[in-house]
A and B are shown apart, each in its own frame.
Chain A
Amino acid sequence: AQSVTQPDIHITVSEGASLELRCNYSYGATPYLFWYVQSPGQGLQLLLKYFSGDTLVQGIKGFEAEFKRSQSSFNLRKPSVHWSDAAEYFCAVGGATNKLIFGTGTLLAVQP
């Protein structure tokens, strides 16, 4: 079955600290992988995506993610978190079909 697991429901980091949000997926074919961010009461904004090629992808707002096929993971990282990064983050997987499957999200809080 196709699925996405985000094991951390809630994470709190201090401003300026590094961040890693975990994402594991189950998908039968070559996956297309995405990270989206959502501010409260808003829609989702794409941070970055992976389709093929270099397994380390760069996104907006200083985020990056690494695709590790052997671990079925696509973890999101940022070297130094800003207070404005507080939001909910969603990992998603798709492929040749037109449907994306989303994880349940990780809520990030940033301490001053």
Chain B
Amino acid sequence: DGGITQSPKYLFRKEGQNVTLSCEQNLNHDAMYWYRQDPGQGLRLIYYSQIVNDFQKGDIAEGYSVSREKKESFPLTVTSAQKNPTAFYLCATKKQGDTGELFFGEGSRLTVL
């Protein structure tokens, strides 16, 4: 089935540890995005990538890093520099040249203890 797979769905980490969230897609979409969701704050853009080997910072990129070595994959690393990493993280994709509709994965919930 075509879709977006995020893993793991739940992740617990100790403060000060880096963690990497996986996002894989087989929709053949060019653009990929990472959003952070906190209660009452909607979705905030962390990073996005429109093509392989290129990515741009979103509105809240501090403390996060990404890579885009393959079209299908866009992993997000939450570093120890992120001051409040506990959140729900959503990966999304978009077909290039399309009219802006995003397709979302099921999300990953990160809890830092």
- Asked if A46 is an interface residue, CB under 8 A from chain B, the answer is yes
Contact A42/B106 with A90-B43, A99-B45, A103-B42 known, Cβ cut-off 8 Å: yes
Residues of A within 8 A of B43 (CB): 44, 90, 102
Residues of B within 8 A of A98 (CB): 31, 48, 50, 94, 100
> Does B109 lie within 8 Å of A41, measured CB to CB?
yes
Residues of B within 8 A of A63 (CB): none
The residue that A44 contacts in the complex, of B40, B44, B58, B104, with Cβ under 8 A, is B104
Minimum CB distance partner of B38 in chain A? A104
A86 to chain B, nearest CB (A): 17
A95 to B42, CA, bound (A): 19
> Does B107 lie within 8 Å of A100, measured CB to CB?
no
- Asked if A34 is an interface residue, CB under 8 A from chain B, the answer is yes
A34 to B42, CA, bound (A): 14
What class of interface size applies to chain B in its complex with A?
Answer: 20 to 34
A71 to chain B, nearest CB (A): 21
Residues of A within 8 A of B92 (CB): 44
Residues of A within 8 A of B102 (CB): 44, 46, 100
> Does B100 lie within 8 Å of A32, measured CB to CB?
yes
Residues of A within 8 A of B48 (CB): 98-99
- Asked if B105 is an interface residue, CB under 8 A from chain A, the answer is yes
Contact A51/B99 with A43-B90, A43-B107, A44-B90 known, Cβ cut-off 8 Å: yes
> Does A100 lie within 8 Å of B42, measured CB to CB?
no
> Does B100 lie within 8 Å of A105, measured CB to CB?
no
> Does A104 lie within 8 Å of B99, measured CB to CB?
no
Residues of A within 8 A of B101 (CB): 34, 46, 49
The residue that A41 contacts in the complex, of B40, B100, B107, with Cβ under 8 A, is B107
A104 to B44, CA, bound (A): 10
Which 7 pairs show the lowest CB-CB distances between chains A and B?
A43-B104, A104-B42, A94-B100, A102-B43, A44-B104, A102-B42, A32-B100
